[in-house]
Amino acid sequence: MKEKMSDPIILNPFEDVYSPSEDSYLILDFIRSNISQEIFDEIPIKEIRNILDLGTGTGIVAIFLELLNLFPSQIYASDILQNAIKCAQMNEKRNNIENKIKYIHSDLFESFPNHLKNSFDIIIFNPPYLPSIERIEKKSSDHSWDGGIDGLKVLSEFFSQVKIYLNRQKKCYVYYICSSKTNLDELYKLIKEKGFKNKVLMNRHIFFEDIFLNRAVLE
């Protein structure tokens, strides 16, 4: 299985699309370390139906999952940026897995079709999590990193909307990234208020911040 676990080939010709960075690779590393033929994290693989990579950017996470060829599931990838959808579709072709991933151009869940309500067993979101004040010169658009005053703008809206898209017949899992620059007290408080139990799964120190991969599960 190891040979299936290398990074996908990712190119990014778009100025406004986020190129894979430490946070993207933290997600890939977690998946690599926690997957076998039968189980991903705590979930039996054969029970996973729909997976969503929200804010897919270049498509790196969705394509990595598809290349593993382990999930019987449909993999969806969405982004607020039309160029991200184009970029992910191009990268999907580059990795010889044409037309497997389903794409949705949407601001969070706004344009998701009704039939996807109560359908996702796993949702992965590497959101814009930095406070606006942390403006750093990046090539990608503000959508990639700007999480508003305290880094919570998109994440808090996400946690308000996500529940109805989770498959609540079973235990379902939300994986997301945040940073030591995000207002973590406020974030974990609001996640608890929305009915989720949160666990930090991995962290990594980069430049002036620590980034965290979290798992939120409905209680």
Ligand X SMILES: C[S@@+](CC[C@H](N)C(=O)[O-])C[C@H]1O[C@@H](n2cnc3c(N)ncnc32)[C@H](O)[C@@H]1O
* Closest approach of ligand X to the CB of residue 98, in Å: 20
**Taking CB under 6 A as the rule, does residue 60 contact ligand X?**
yes
Q: Does 122 contact ligand X by CB under 6 A?
A: no
Contact predicate 216/198, CB 8 Å: yes
Count of residues for the chain? Answer: 219
* By the rule CB under 6 A, 18 interacts with ligand X: yes
For the chain, how many helices (H) and strands (E)? 6, 9
* Size of the residue set binding ligand X (CB under 6 A): 23
Q: Which of 35, 70, 80, 155 binds ligand X (CB under 6 A)?
A: 80
Here the tokens at position 159 are: 């946690």
Helix (H) or strand (E) holding 75: strand 74-79
20 binds ligand X (CB under 6 A): yes
Nearer to ligand X, 175 or 196 (CB): 175
Pairing of strands 39-40, 43-44: antiparallel
Q: Which two tokens stand for residue 215?
A: 């798992």
In the complex, the smallest distance separating the C-beta of residue 106 from ligand X, rounded to whole angstroms, is 6
Site for ligand X in 182-211 (CB under 6 A): none
Beta carbons within 10 angstroms of residue 134's beta carbon? 16
Binds ligand X by CB under 6 A, chosen from 61, 63, 67, 155: 61
Q: Is 144 one of the binding residues for ligand X (CB under 6 A)?
A: yes
215 binds ligand X (CB under 6 A): no
**CA-based diameter of the chain, in Å?**
44
CB 64 within 8 A of CB 8: yes
Q: Is 8 in the site for ligand X (CB under 6 A)?
A: no
Q: Which residues bind ligand X (CB under 6 A)?
A: 18, 20, 23-24, 55-57, 60-61, 78-81, 84, 107-108, 126-128, 143-145, 154
